[in-house]
């Protein structure tokens, strides 16, 4: 599969049985949004920097509810309910964690997770190989919480950090990725917005892959 970081929490995951785009952002978000098409758009919650489904071409199916959605042969996506804040969702609402299964791999996109995982959520993520995790804090979990979460999931082999401050959003009240990287070993700066991954090329031990935004 080909994984491309568009920016913020938006990724395009192109598999041999279909393409998923996660959390497309609106024009107000200062990242370039290239022409994208998908079979599925997964929306973790209804904020404008995560739910701009109209920017994605290809007449995709929009998945924004909990439960398992078998959207194509060999491609399954499951929404797991979670919270956007540590006040029971009363400040920023609810959030969906998405588990995507394709090409004999399991990926999880945490959306705007705002609190540590519950035991039930952790159990649902125990088979995850590739994790897309917010690390910038303020609106989501911070670097330390994200690092502890990653270490609680023993099957994870690749972590792609997201939802942090970059040159495109220097005034946002979220931390840069460096805070997270200082807590982790085996950091790889990919030097591209895209990477090709197969079951056979998953690293043997946990690695953090820092992608460039599109």
What domain range includes position 181?
A: 2-210
% of the chain exceeding 70 in pLDDT: 100
What is the per-residue pLDDT for 50?
96
Mean pLDDT score, 10-14: 98
% of the chain exceeding 90 in pLDDT: 93
- Could you tell me which residue, 37 or 71, shows the higher pLDDT? 37
Answer whether residue 71 shows pLDDT above 80.
no
Helices (H), the chain: 119-124, 143-151, 178-181
> CB under 8 Å to 194, separation ≥6 — which residues?
2, 3, 4, 5, 211
Domain with residue 137: its CATH number is 3.60.15.10
Number of structural domains, the chain? Answer: 1
pTM for the whole structure: 0.97
């Amino acid at each position: 599969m080909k994984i491309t970081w568009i920016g913020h929490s938006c990724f395009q995951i192109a598999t041999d049985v279909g393409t998923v785009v996660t959390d497309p952002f609106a024009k107000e978000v200062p990242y370039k949004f290239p022409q994208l098409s998908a079979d599925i758009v997964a929306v973790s919650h209804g904020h404008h920097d995560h739910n701009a489904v109209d920017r994605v071409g290809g007449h995709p199916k929009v998945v924004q509810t909990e439960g398992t959605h078998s959207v194509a042969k060999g491609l399954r996506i499951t929404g797991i309910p979670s919270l956007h804040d540590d006040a029971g969702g009363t400040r920023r609402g609810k959030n969906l964690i998405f588990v995507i299964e394709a090409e004999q791999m399991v990926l999880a996109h945490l959306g705007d997770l705002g609190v540590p995982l519950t035991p039930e959520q952790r159990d649902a993520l125990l088979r995850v190989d590739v994790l897309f995790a917010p690390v910038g804090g303020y609106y989501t979990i911070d670097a330390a919480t994200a690092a502890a979460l990653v270490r609680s999931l023993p099957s994870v082999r690749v972590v792609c950090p997201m939802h942090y401050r970059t040159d495109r959003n220097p005034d946002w009240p979220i931390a840069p990725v460096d805070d997270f990287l200082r807590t982790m070993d085996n950091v790889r700066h990919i030097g591209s917005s895209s990477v090709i991954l197969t079951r056979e090329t998953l690293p043997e031990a946990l690695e953090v892959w820092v992608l460039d935004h599109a």
